[in-house]
Amino acid sequence: MSGAVEIAKGIHLVGVKDPGLTLFDDLFPTAFGTTYNAFLVRGATHTALIDTVKGKRFEELMDNIRSVIDPSQIDYIVVNHSEPDHSGSLAKLVKACPQATVVSSQAARTFLGNQIHAPFESKIVKDQDTLDLGGRTLRFIAAPFLHWPDTMFTVVEGEGVLFSCDAFGSHYAGEGAFADEMPDFSGETRFYYDCIMRPFKDRILQAVEKLDGIELTLVCPSHGPVYRKEVRKPIELYRKWSVPKAGGKRIAIFYLSPHGNTESMAEAVARGASLPGVVVTQCHINHASVADIRDLMEESDALIFGTPTINRDIPKPMWDVLAYLSTVSLKGNIGGIFGSYGWSGEACRMAEDRLKGMNFKLPHPFVRTPFMPKPEVMAECEALGRAIAEEVLKK
């Protein structure tokens, strides 16, 4: 990389770029690589390093720090979040800077204890605590679950410099340091939000509200470009993407139906669920995009899954939909299951285990039938839909 970049007087970006990365955390595609941002903040008497970088990039971090100061002058290492892409160099760094105190939330300290099996100086800070660097003060803002329980923001008080950790980041390793120097990367910002932040919408709204009274001049996420113009833009986008949609009670029925039998059951469930004041949406999962399915999950007060059994299992497209449950901010945790099968019928039980594992309340036992549903099975499906609608209307 890269080298240090002074982003404000006495504040240097000393992180590293990883433009060749194609898959982040073994999970999320990164078409434009990423960066692991770390920042040196110098006061008159003390110096703080905000975050570190992935362990394999430690030497580059040290080179960048050395280009600004002797690393032995670092007094504090602020860990805004202890995921190894930011704390992975910490074990080596505390050896290189034995006088430095690691500053973090209590949760991060606990997690670090399970990552660094050696003693180090530690200071726990809470929401709104401050740290004096001599003519410059850091303020810590708790932002739990953005996206780990340990997360906090750090602000240079009175200067409006926000180190926001993963929040407002993008996996984007462009030329330069600032967002306004680069081509439009807004698609990467949204994809990053969808992959990493989306399950925590209520926490995002709480954290964003804490920033409302602060006049910001720089927004410095841990990944991707630093914002020095339109600094509120990524924050307001997070607010917009996280505000729940208004509207009445909604029930979504997701189903897959190789021979039309589970679809017939879905129609019966929908009839039963269509009580006054309830909007029911039937969604054949192979005819909807992933984005539409995830949006529908978030908008609905109850989710009902109709799954056939293929080879003694839930078919993969439905497993995928069940997996999305942990990638969204669920509005409700009321659920139901139904499905047609040929001769063994394990899928409904498996889906039930998944929903119970996600703390869903199931007001009616699952309804399953071999092959084509008889009238009494259709009546059971209607009863299932009705029971769920009644539960939704109680809330």
39-71: buried (b, 16+ CB within 10 Å) or exposed (e) per residue? bbbbbeebbbbbbbbbbebbebbbebbeebbeb
For the four alpha carbons of 74, 36, 85 and 165, in that order, the dihedral sign comes to positive
For residue 154, state whether it binds ligand FEO (rule: CB under 6 A): no
Sole window of 82-90, 156-164, 181-189, 324-332 interacting with ligand FEO (rule: CB under 6 A):
82-90
* Strand order, beta sheet including 302-306: 278-284, 249-255, 302-306, 334-341, 367-370
Among 57, 81, 139, 203, binds ligand FEO (CB under 6 A): 81
Binding mask 216-255 toward ligand FEO (x if CB under 6 A, else -) reads ------xx--------------------------------
**Inter-CA distances, 136 with 44, 47, 71, 156, Å:** 7, 10, 19, 7
For residue 57, state whether it binds ligand FEO (rule: CB under 6 A): no
Binding to ligand FEO (CB under 6 A) within 122-151 occurs at 147
Other CB atoms within 10 A of residue 236 CB: 11
For residue 18, state whether it binds ligand FEO (rule: CB under 6 A): no
For residue 85, state whether it binds ligand FEO (rule: CB under 6 A): yes
In angstroms, what is the minimal distance from the CB of 157 to ligand FEO? Answer: 24
d(CA 253, CA 266): 7
For residue 75, state whether it binds ligand FEO (rule: CB under 6 A): no
Sole window of 72-80, 83-91, 109-117, 230-238 interacting with ligand FEO (rule: CB under 6 A):
83-91
Return the DSSP state at 374.
Answer: P
Question: What DSSP line would sit under 347-366, residue for residue?
Answer: HHHHHHHHHHHTT-B-SS--
Sole window of 11-19, 77-85, 97-105, 363-371 interacting with ligand FEO (rule: CB under 6 A):
77-85
Q: What residue number has its CB nearest to ligand FEO?
A: 83
In angstroms, what is the minimal distance from the CB of 144 to ligand FEO? Answer: 13
For residue 301, state whether it binds ligand FEO (rule: CB under 6 A): no
Binding to ligand FEO (CB under 6 A) within 184-223 occurs at 222-223
Instruction: Please name the helix (run of DSSP H) or strand (run of DSSP E) that holds residue 299, with its range, or none.
Output: helix 290-299
Sole window of 79-87, 110-118, 303-311, 352-360 interacting with ligand FEO (rule: CB under 6 A):
79-87
Question: Residue 389, SS3?
Answer: helix
Please tell me the count of residues contacting ligand FEO according to CB under 6 A: 8
For residue 86, state whether it binds ligand FEO (rule: CB under 6 A): yes
For residue 166, state whether it binds ligand FEO (rule: CB under 6 A): yes
Question: What DSSP line would sit under 200-244, residue for residue?
Answer: GHHHHHHHHHHTTTS--SEEEESSSPBB-SSTTHHHHHHHHHHSP
Q: Which residues bind ligand FEO (CB under 6 A)?
A: 81, 83, 85-86, 147, 166, 222-223
